[in-house]
Structures are given as structure tokens and as C-alpha cells.
Amino acid sequence: MRGGDEILRIEGLCVYFYTYAGVVRAVEDLNLTIYRGETFALVGETGCGKSVTMRAVLRLVPPPGRIVKGRIIFDGVDLLKLPEKEMRKIRGSKISMVFQDPNTALDPLYTAGYQTTETILAHRKVSKKSAWQRALELFKVVEIPEPKRRLRAYPHELSGGMKQRVVTSIALSLNPKLLIADEPTTALDVTIQAQILELLRDLQRKYGVTLVMITHNMGVVADMADRVAVMYAGSVVEVADVYELFGNPLHPYTKGLLRAIPSLTSRNERLQSIPGTVPNMIRPPPGCKFHPRCEYAMDVCKRERPRMIDMGKGHLVACHLYS
């Protein structure tokens, strides 16, 4: 454990989506602490609220979603209390984000270089020339071949992997303290995926940026992360060191997730899935939201929401089995 030096602390975060069908409780009473310099993975199924949580950190929850409650302390400042203008100064310069699909993340009408320099110019009082100089350096850092020519290329002239490199260079252009990568490889070819992960790992080491990876790919987690939080239906159910989590998973949901990974060594084994489906988030089940799918469910699970319990060595779990 790095201990103490936290960069981001989320306390009691609630994000609700006000739809016609009802209020979708996408994130409910979520607590999370991320330490400076680490690579942190946020895992869970599609729709469990992991992207929304990190979008909330940037205060860019898409409508009709709204941050209802909670505190998001970044570097000692509660982001939810900042005026919008101050928040814009933080976005892109102190906290940045890379998206799942690089093909739609860039404005098709502007060159890659323009979109990089405009970020620099929005935050720093530098000349256009030095901004382009910086963009060229960044393109070299993210290993874009022929960076000079690529600066003048439009997004449609670049491949998917190349676009993700451009997006990454934009996200890194102002040396952010926190970089959120929202499934940065899902939309890419497998070989390109490995390259992008390699790139992120290198950049993380070189610049000491705190990296939050949002993913549902346990392979990526094992490969990249120092610590992991598992989310289920809008809440964190387990947090642990990556070795601890894979070696000694405590929450029944985490156990299920790990059993669902195909492995090369155990050959004649059927892949196991977690029975049931993700709960209705408009009227989630009472008590522990996982209890309808849990093989260890007890009476108390249907009544009471489990609290987060510290099992030692920073291993936290929210499950009645351990109380």
C-alpha cells in the first residue's frame, strides 16, 4: 500500500438518471479512494455504473443524469462545489480522459494537430507556434510514425490505433495528474489493443500519472492494475490489491467474475457464468443488490445493505458473509 497520499476520494456518490420510465439509480452511495501514482482498475459488467462514476469525477454526466449527492475530493478540493468555470480549468489539464471508441472521439472536421493544440491553447498562455511544437513532441511520445505529417492529417485519414494515440496525446498534453481510460482498447483490434496498453503503461511509468482504467476485461486488469475495485449495480462491492483480489477473492460476485475468465491451463472445463441478470436499476432489489443471484444469500442479505468491511491489507468487501 502506498498509504495516505490519496489523489481522489469519492464519498457517498449518487448519480441518478431521470428518465420517463423512472429514476435510474446508476450510481448509489459509492465510496472509493485512489492513491497518487497508482494504476487503478474499475471493473464490472456493462451498465454497472463504472463509466458514469468516472464521468461524474469530470462532472460530465450526460443528461438526463445528475449527480445527486456525494463528495468528490480531488487533490484536496471538492470538485462538486467548484463553479463550472473552475471545473473547465481542471478538465483536460489536471484530469483527463481517453475513450472507448477513438473513431468517434475526434472532431472529423479538424486536423489531429489542431485538436491537440487547441487543448494546449485553452489552458496555457503560449504562442500557437510553441503549441504546435508541443503537439509534435506529444505525437513522438505516443509513438505516432511520421508525426509531422500526422499533425496535418484529418481523423478519417488515420487508423483506429493511430486515432487512439492521438486521443492519448491530447489527454496527456498538459501533464494531467489523473488519467481516466474508459475501456481504451475495446474498439480496437487485438494486436493494436496490446500496443495501446503498452503505451499507457509506459506513459504511466514515465510521467507518474495516476491511471484509472475502466474495463470489463479481467486480463487487462491482471496485466495493468495495482489495485482493483469491483462494481456491481451502481456500488463498489470489493476493493483490493490486484494479487490479493485474484488470489483471494471474497465477494461472491468477484468470485463469479473470476470463474468466468477462460484460461489456457484448464482445458476441458466449461466456462462458468453468473446465473441471473443485472438487476433493474429503477427498482433495485432491497438489501444487497446481488442477493437474487448469490449462491450464499442469507435472510439478512434481503433486508440490509452490507457495509464495507476492512479485511486487512486494504482489502475491503461489502458482504454479509464477513460481518
Is 93 an interacting residue with respect to another protein (CB under 8 A)? yes
In the complex with another protein, the residue whose CB is nearer, 10 or 180, is 180
Task: Please identify which residue in 20, 21, 46, 109 interacts with another protein, judged by CB under 8 A.
Answer: 109
| Residue 274: CB minimum distance to another protein, A | 30
Which region among 37-45, 90-98, 290-298, 305-313 touches another protein (by CB under 8 A)? Answer: 90-98
**Grid cell for residue 100:** 472507448
How far apart CA 270 and CA 76 sit, in angstroms, is 48
How far apart CA 242 and CA 300 sit, in angstroms, is 29
In the complex with another protein, the residue whose CB is nearer, 90 or 288, is 90
For 14, the enclosing helix (H) or strand (E) is: strand 6-19
Q: How many CB atoms lie within 10 A of CB 14?
A: 17
- 10 Å CB burial of residue 1 (0-12, 13-18, 19+) is exposed
In the complex with another protein, the residue whose CB is nearer, 27 or 97, is 97
Is 119 an interacting residue with respect to another protein (CB under 8 A)? yes
Which region among 117-125, 218-226, 255-263, 272-280 touches another protein (by CB under 8 A)? Answer: 117-125
In the complex with another protein, the residue whose CB is nearer, 106 or 228, is 106
**Grid cell for residue 48:** 454497472
Is 132 an interacting residue with respect to another protein (CB under 8 A)? no
In the complex with another protein, the residue whose CB is nearer, 107 or 299, is 107
Backbone angles phi, psi at 304, to 5 degrees: -115, 140
How far apart CA 26 and CA 17 sit, in angstroms, is 7
Task: Please identify which residue in 31, 39, 96, 117 interacts with another protein, judged by CB under 8 A.
Answer: 96
Which region among 96-104, 188-196, 220-228, 310-318 touches another protein (by CB under 8 A)? Answer: 96-104
In the complex with another protein, the residue whose CB is nearer, 61 or 281, is 61
x/- string (CB under 8 A) for another protein, residues 184-213? ------------------------------
- Residues 12-71 binding another protein (CB under 8 A) are 58, 60, 62
| Residue 50: CB minimum distance to another protein, A | 16
Strand partners, 68: none
Chain-centre distance of CA 155, in angstroms?
A: 24
**22-35, strands of its sheet edge to edge:** 22-35, 6-19, 65-74, 77-78
x/- string (CB under 8 A) for another protein, residues 149-168? -----x-x----------x-
201-to-13, 140, 225, 282 alpha-carbon distances in Å: 29, 16, 10, 38
Contact 34, 7 (CB under 8 A): yes
| Residue 204: CB minimum distance to another protein, A | 18
Is 90 an interacting residue with respect to another protein (CB under 8 A)? yes
Which region among 23-31, 39-47, 119-127, 215-223 touches another protein (by CB under 8 A)? Answer: 119-127
| Residue 277: CB minimum distance to another protein, A | 27
Q: Is 178 helix (H, G, I), strand (E, B) or coil?
A: strand
Is 247 an interacting residue with respect to another protein (CB under 8 A)? no
Beta strand 95-98 with 178-182 is parallel
How far apart CA 151 and CA 230 sit, in angstroms, is 39
Beta strand 309-310 with 235-241 is unpaired
DSSP per-residue letters across 236-249: EEEEEEHHHHHHS-
Site of interaction with another protein (CB under 8 A)? 58, 60, 62, 88-93, 96-97, 99, 101, 104-110, 118-119, 122-123, 154, 156, 167, 170-171
